[in-house]
Amino acid sequence: MRSDERDVDVPPLTEGIAPGTATDPAVGSDGPATVTVDGTAVSLESGATLLDAVEAVETDEHVAALCHYGREGIGPRSECRTCMVATDEHGVVPACSFPAEDGLTVRTGATDAAEARDVNLDLVLSDHNLRCTTCGKNGRCELQDAAIEAGVEEPRYGVFDDRDEYEPLDDTSPFIAIDRNKCILCNRCVEACNDVQVEGVLRMEGSGSDTRIGFQSDAETMADSTCVSCGHCATVCPTGALVEDGIVDATTIPLPGFTQANSVGETSERAGERSGPMTPKKRAEPTSGGDGKAGDAAGNASEDGSDADGAPDVNGTPGAGVWDDGGDWP
């Protein structure tokens, strides 16, 4: 009885992965469907959600769908609930995860749906560090975009701004910085790490207001985790919670002496020698630069710099690469 419950499609690599999240059913419609969004009929393919329909037309009101990613099989997590829309048939539902059943009538401007989107976005902001000017994602942050689009000027529940309650920044990894005070728990990084990269590093842990992104190895910091520095978590992160280390302050407004790190309290710094922001093998490339594959191979970096493409060991040639920033390589 047990044996037939195993999903034969699951690669063995995932067996030991424990992301701490529920086993969600697949969402989306069973077959092709036509739904009406704010008076416009939209035809959709099998497997579509109401958000696919909403995104296909000019809607009466903006539907943020903040935690939605919609690529690489990541999500929908349907966590933030800023995509609520009204349907005549099922009442107010989350567009990102509700199947586009044939014949549904969707209204984005319905009062209860608009209120739910508005309140939920403010609830997201209530637990978010809103110091955008010291954030490396300033200007390319999906929460910022959603808040601007929704015209949020003063979130009704305020923002997370209590120095005593800030989680320490995790700056221990040479490649990825974690600031949980900006995390909206959208779960994209966990899915990118476990389902796409199959690395099994990140997990969701805790409950209630203690819910946070942690490590499956029970490590306290990124440096102590089993992270291979592939960077996918930072790639999919909608806010400044996970940022590539080299660009943590890429878009901050230069205020002398004021950074995210010193404004929120404690930071877990990396121990020992400081590493550069990029993997060793990148430095073995010719000095001409412009390597079109620069980002692709980063996932293998932590193992051994000499094994990629037969490139020579870089340790003996500091300063030769285009990525050189004067740091000490591992």
Partner 1 sequence: MTLTSTAGDPVVRVSGTAQGAELRGSDADATVLAVGSTGVPAVEPLLSVTRRGRTGFHARCPPERAKTIVSTVAEAGDVTTADPDAVVEHDPDATRLPVPELPGFGVGNRSVLAACGWRRPTNPADHEAAGGFGNPDPAAVLDAGTRLRGRGWGDRCQDAFLAETWGTVRDGDGDAAVVVNGHGNPADALLLAGAPFEVLDGATALARAVDAERLVVYASAADERAVETAREAATTYPDPPAPIDVVAGPPEYRAAEPTMALEAIEGNHRLEARLRPPGPEEVGLHGRPTLVHTSRTLAQLAIALRDGREPETRVVTVTGDVAAPATVELRESDSLADAVDAVEVEGTVKAACVGGRFGGLTRDLDVGVDPEALSAANLGTDGTVHVLAEDSCVVEFVGRRARFAAEGNCGRCVPCREGTTQLTALLRAVYDGEYDADGIEELGRVMATSSLCSFGVRAGRPARTALAAFESEFAAHADGRCPAGQCVEPAEVT
HEC letters along 66-120 = CCCCCCCCCCCCCCCCCCEEEECCCEEEECCCCECCCCCEEECCCHHHHHHHHHH
70: contact with partner 1 by CB under 8 A: no
Taking CB under 8 A as the binding criterion, the range among 39-47, 171-179, 204-212, 257-265 that sits at the site for partner 1 is 204-212
Question: What element of type H or E holds 214?
Answer: strand 212-215
Decide: helix, strand or coil at residue 34: strand
Instruction: Rank residues 29 and 172 by Cβ distance to partner 1 and give the closer one.
Output: 29
State how far Cα 11 lies from the chain centre. 24
8: contact with partner 1 by CB under 8 A: no
Shortest Å distance, C-beta 62 to partner 1: 16
Instruction: Rank residues 26 and 154 by Cβ distance to partner 1 and give the closer one.
Output: 26
Shortest Å distance, C-beta 157 to partner 1: 5
Candidate list 31, 73, 91, 289; residue touching partner 1; CB under 8 A = 91
23: contact with partner 1 by CB under 8 A: yes
Tokens of 309: 């493409």
92: contact with partner 1 by CB under 8 A: yes
Site for partner 1 in 286-325 (CB under 8 A): none
Query: What is the spatial distance between Cα 214 and Cα 180, in angstroms, rounded to a whole number?
Result: 10
Task: Name the amino acid, one letter, at 2.
Answer: R
Query: What is the spatial distance between Cα 274 and Cα 157, in angstroms, rounded to a whole number?
Result: 40
Q: Binding pattern to partner 1, positions 159-198, x when CB under 8 A?
A: -------------------------xx-------------
Per the DSSP assignment, residues forming a β-bridge with 44 are: 33
Query: What is the spatial distance between Cα 192 and Cα 232, in angstroms, rounded to a whole number?
Result: 6
Instruction: Rank residues 182 and 203 by Cβ distance to partner 1 and give the closer one.
Output: 203
Shortest Å distance, C-beta 146 to partner 1: 12
Query: What is the spatial distance between Cα 250 and Cα 238, in angstroms, rounded to a whole number?
Result: 16
Judged by the rule CB under 8 A, the positions of this chain that interact with partner 1 are 1, 5, 7, 18, 20-27, 76-82, 84, 91-92, 94, 97-99, 112, 115-116, 119-120, 123-124, 126-127, 156-157, 184-185, 203-211
